[in-house]
Amino acid sequence: IVSKIDNEFLANFDLSEFDLIIDAIDDIPAKVALANLIDFKRQIFISSTGGARKLDPTRIKTTSIFKTHGDALAKKFRYELRKSGFKGNFDVVFSDEEAHCKDLGSFMGVTASFGLALASLALRKVLAKKN
């Protein structure tokens, strides 16, 4: 699939058939638009925040989007969610590590660990919902 996730894409994509939606989008408007489409009574939604410019995968944590700290992407995401009138809550994978450089760049050890943390969180959420 070669598409950009944006409002137009989301307007034409039926999310209703999915029980679990994992967000790893880097674009804040797209993240906010996606979060606002989730049926939180029926669907599980989890999100990844800022793994760029980080070096220490042991600093990766999971919590509510509204309890993250030390993560600039999560902070901007929270701000834009509130601005959009978002009333839900969901867990995210984030790092509280301070950024190590000004330019965007990624260390595969951290980004891969974000992916593993997302997979673990997804499995735990599905199992918790089943029980």
Residue 107 belongs to domain with CATH number:
3.40.50.720
Name the residue range of residue 33's domain.
18-130
Give the total number of structural domains in the chain: 1
6 is a domain residue: no
Strand ranges inside 1-131, DSSP E: 20-23, 44-48, 60-64, 91-95
Task: Tell if the pTM clears 0.85, that is, is over it.
Answer: yes
Question: Cα separation of 4 and 7, whole Å?
Answer: 10
- Residue 93, SS3 per DSSP: strand
Question: CA separation (Å) from 72 to 8, 49, 118?
Answer: 26, 9, 19
The answer to whether residue 72 is domain-embedded is: yes
CA distances from 48 to 14, 55, 83, 105 (A): 21, 16, 20, 16
pLDDT of residue 52: 84
Judge whether 10 lies within some domain. no
First-to-final CA distance of the chain: 35
Whether residue 49 is contained in a domain is answered as: yes
- Helix then strand then coil, in percent of the chain rounded to 5, is 45, 15, 45
Quote the CA–CA distance of 16 and 19 in Å, as a whole number: 8
- Give bridge partners of residue 22 from the DSSP assignment: 46
For the stretch 72-110, pLDDT in tens is: 999 999 999 999 999 999 999 999 998 887 777 788 899
Classify residue 91: in a domain, yes or no: yes
Is 22 contained in some domain?
yes
Residue 4 belongs to a domain: no
Instruction: List, for residues 46-81, the tens digit of each pLDDT value.
Output: 999 988 889 899 999 999 999 999 999 999 999 999
What integer pLDDT is reported at residue 78 of this predicted model? 97
13 within domain boundaries: no
Q: How large is the angle between the packed helices 28-37 and 72-83, nearest 10 degrees?
A: 50
